[in-house]
Structure 1
Amino acid sequence: MPMTWTIALLIFISSCVSFLNSVYFGKLLLHPVSIFRSNEYYRLFTADFVHNDMVHLVLNEAMLILVCGKLEKLLRATYEYGSLKFLVVYLASMLFGTVAVTIIHRSDFDFSGAGASGSILGCMFCYTILKPEVTALYLPLIGAIPNKCDALIYILGLIVYKLRGKNSMINHELHFFGALGGILVTFVLFPGVI
Structure 2
Amino acid sequence: MLTDYIQNTPIASFIFALTVGLSIYAFSNPQLYGKMMLHPYTVYRDRSKWGMIITSGLIHKDWSHLLFNMITFYFFGFALESLLVAQSGPIGHLYFGGIYVIALVLSDIPTILQQKDNYGYNSLGASGAISAILFSFILFYPKTMLYIFFAIPIPAFVFGFLYLGYCIWASKNARDGINHDAHLFGALTGLVLTILLYPWVLTHFASQFGF
TM-score range, shorter chain: 0.7 to 0.9
Q: 1:101 aligns to what?
A: 111
Does the 8 Å contact 1:32/1:102 carry over to 2? yes
Structure 2 Cα separation of the partners of residues 149 and 65 of structure 1: 18
Match of 2:162 among 153, 158, 164: 153
The RMSD of aligned alpha carbons is 2.4
For the residue of structure 1 that corresponds to 2:121, the secondary structure is coil
Q: What percent identity do the matched residue pairs reach? A: 27
Contact 2:81 2:93 in 1 (8 A): yes
Choose the corresponding residue for 2:27, options 19, 32, 39.
Answer: 19
Rounded to whole Å, the distance in 2 between the matches of 1:68 and 1:9 is 13
Gaps of 5+ in 1: none
CA distance in 2, matches of 1:19, 1:160: 26
Work out whether residues 171 and 179 of structure 2, in 8 Å CA contact, stay in contact via their aligned partners in 1. Answer: no
Query: Which AA in structure 2 matches 1:18?
Result: A
Q: CA deviation at 1:62?
A: 2.1
CA distance 1:160–1:30, shift in 2 (3 Å): closer
Contact in 2 for aligned 1:5/1:65 (Cα 8 Å) = no
Corresponding residue for 1:67?
76
Q: Distance in 2 between matches of 1:93 and 1:134?
A: 23
TM-score by length of 2: 0.79
In the TM superposition, residue 166 of structure 1 has moved relative to its aligned partner by 4.2
- How many correspondences in the alignment? 191
Aligned equivalent of 2:208 = none
Give CA-to-partner distance per residue, 1:106-145, whole Å, 9 cap, x none.
Answer: 1111111111111111100000112224334679xxx854
CA 1:118–1:20: 2 relative to 1, 3 Å = same
- Post-superposition offset of 1:3: 1.0
User: What's 2:5 paired with?
Assistant: none
Q: Deviations over 1:26-81 (max 9, x none)?
A: 11111101101232111111111111123322332222222211211211222222
Which one of 51, 56, 60 corresponds to residue 51 of structure 1? 60
Q: CA deviation at 1:18?
A: 1.6
The alignment status of 1:117 with 2:127, answered yes or no, reads yes
Moved more, 17-26 or 175-184: 17-26
Amino acid at match of 1:110: G
Q: Does residue 1:127 correspond to 2:174, yes or no?
A: no
Distance 1:156 1:54, change over 3 A: closer
Residue type at the aligned position of 1:69? F
* Residue 8 (structure 2) pairs with residue 4 (structure 1): no
Contact 1:187–1:193 (Cα < 8 Å) also in 2:
yes
Stretches of structure 2 that go unaligned for 5 or more consecutive residues are 1-8, 203-211
Per-residue Cα deviation, 1:144-187 (whole angstroms, up to 9, x for no partner): 54434442333333345556x54433422111111111111112
Once the two structures are TM-superposed, the CA of residue 7 in structure 1 deviates from its matched residue by: 0.6
- Choose the corresponding residue for 1:175, options 159, 183, 190: 183
Matches of 1:125 and 1:167 in 2, distance apart? 25
Q: Distance in 2 between matches of 1:82 and 1:49?
A: 22
